[in-house]
Amino acid sequence: MKIADVTVQSFRYISKTVRDSEGHGHPGPEHEATQSLVTIHTDEGVVGRCFGHIAKPTLENLVKPILVGEDPFYREKIWRALNERQRLNLASLVDRVLTVVDLALWDLAGQALGQPVHKLLGASRDKVPAYASTMCGDDLEGGLATPEDYANFALWCRERGYPAFKLHTWQPPYAGAPNAKRDIQACAAVREAVGPDVPLMLDPFHYYSREEALYLARELEKLDYYWMEEPMDEHSMSSYIWLCQNTLLPICGPETAEGKMYTRAEWIKHGACDIVRGGVGDVGGITPLMKIAHLAESFGMRMEVHGGGVGNLHVLCAMPTPGEFYERGLLHPFIDFDEIPPWLNKPIDPMDDQGFVHISQEPGLGMDINMDYIRDHLVVD
């Protein structure tokens, strides 16, 4: 079997989420948005698919020359070639391009063999407890505008079945943000609302100073929070070493720092984190994320997967030392997260009333794609 082609289909849908000037998602008026589906075709008719976009010049000049003619089961060879090609093409061959190619190849392998991806990786479980991961704070009445709003939403999430809850607090461009004391007010309100036994986490503004980050950590210690992630610029690993040395609160990272498994190895070695972090979109796919999972296992450290999505879910169900939670979100009181997007016939991360997300047992990534909807809403070049 050989790869014959790689195609991208972009299509329109109606979104209820808008982005502020800093790129954070919030509820907003309905508007037309675009999604894309990448398909890897083989000469035997087997295909692999993943949602995500690859710009046409990147597809034609960088991706296809590496993939076309290759055996699709040589995922490691293909991923390594794309990773090396990034060196002189950082602006176009970003990690999310590697991610969509790698996930599509894993989907193709599962389709060819009739097995779900997590079983190809070496399954460890079929369901994962989820935590509710909020959108960033806002100024919407009844949304996430006040500490009380976060507390009320945490109670709703607990009733929905989520066993744990994570706050993304206020960030620029919202007035008064960032404010470490206000973040703690929200964290305290949530702890008071849900009681002492619910695991709680904080993901605050990502560019606090050392002093502000330490203030957050020590206050969260008092509130018995489970972890904190990315309170400072992650390019300063020494700042995270210092923070870990000065707080008992577990620090989870790195999240967005470039460098894939190499950066995670440095953070573990130098004591810059207590829980290592990684997601398929951060590191370039399932292939490198599994390397990080085994790296964490070698150091007796937990790896918590960053973000939701079908790729992350398969990794969670195959990790040798399981990450504890699936990050389900981003959630908001005004958004129905359980609403199935029109390009799918079934949700990719269905959660039961006990807060467990169940992995699909269908071949590949297990996505039930509504190809009719995609064809009917194609963006024509």
Q: Which strand (E) or helix (H) includes residue 60?
A: none
At position 39, the amino acid (one-letter code) is T
What b-and-e string marks burial along 320-338, b requiring 16 or more CB atoms within 10 Å of the CB? eebbbbbbbbbbbbebebe
User: Does the structure show a pLDDT above 80 at 343?
Assistant: yes
Cα separation, 238 vs 244, in Å, equals: 10
Instruction: State mean pLDDT over 323-351.
Output: 97
User: Does the structure show a pLDDT above 80 at 347?
Assistant: yes
Specify which residues 277 forms β-bridges with.
304
Per-residue pLDDT at 148: 98
The yes or no reply on domain 119-358 and CATH 3.20.20.120 is yes
Cα separation, 11 vs 16, in Å, equals: 16
Q: Is 245 exposed, middle or buried (0-12, 13-18, 19+ CB in 10 A)?
A: exposed
Cα separation, 354 vs 375, in Å, equals: 37
Query: Which structure tokens are listed for 42?
Result: 């083989």
Percent of the residues in the chain that have a pLDDT greater than 70, as a whole number: 100
User: Does the structure show a pLDDT above 90 at 323?
Assistant: no
Per-residue pLDDT at 299: 95
- Residue 224 confidence class, pLDDT cut points 50, 70, 90: very high
CATH class for domain 3-114+371-376? Answer: alpha beta
Specify which residues 201 forms β-bridges with.
166, 227
Per-residue pLDDT at 360: 97
- Chain centroid, CA 346 distance in Å: 20
User: Does the structure show a pLDDT above 90 at 321?
Assistant: no
Cα separation, 137 vs 26, in Å, equals: 9
Per-residue pLDDT at 320: 82
Domain spans of the chain, in order of start = 3-114+371-376, 119-358
Each residue of 72-118: pLDDT tens digit?
999 999 999 999 999 999 999 999 999 999 999 999 999 999 999 99
DSSP code, position 70: S
DSSP code, position 133: E
User: Does the structure show a pLDDT above 90 at 381?
Assistant: no
Alpha-carbon separation of residue 356 from 26, 252, 347 (angstroms): 25, 22, 14
Percent of the residues in the chain that have a pLDDT greater than 90, as a whole number: 98
Per-residue pLDDT at 380: 84
Per-residue pLDDT at 77: 98
Each residue of 20-50: pLDDT tens digit?
999 999 999 999 999 999 999 999 999 999 9
Handedness of CA 155, 161, 167, 172 (dihedral sign): negative
What are the φ/ψ torsions at residue 371 (nearest 5 degrees)? -65, -30
Cα separation, 293 vs 61, in Å, equals: 32
User: Does the structure show a pLDDT above 80 at 322?
Assistant: no
Given phi > 0 = left and psi -120 to 50 = alpha, else beta, which region is 161? left
- Chain centroid, CA 76 distance in Å: 22
Instruction: Tell me which residue of 229, 220, 283 sits closest to 252, measured CA to CA.
Output: 229
Sheet strand arrangement including 25-42: 3-19, 25-42, 47-51
Residues in CB range of 372: below 8 A, 6 or more apart: none
Residues in CB range of 197: below 8 A, 6 or more apart: none
| Degrees, nearest 5: CA angle 233-238-241 | 105
Each residue of 238-296: pLDDT tens digit?
999 999 999 999 999 999 999 999 999 999 999 999 999 999 999 999 999 999 999 99
172 touches 206 (CB < 8 A): no
Cα separation, 137 vs 25, in Å, equals: 10
Each residue of 50-84: pLDDT tens digit?
999 999 999 999 999 999 999 999 999 999 999 99
Per-residue pLDDT at 219: 98
Each residue of 152-175: pLDDT tens digit?
999 999 999 999 999 999 999 999
Q: Which strand (E) or helix (H) includes residue 96?
A: helix 95-113
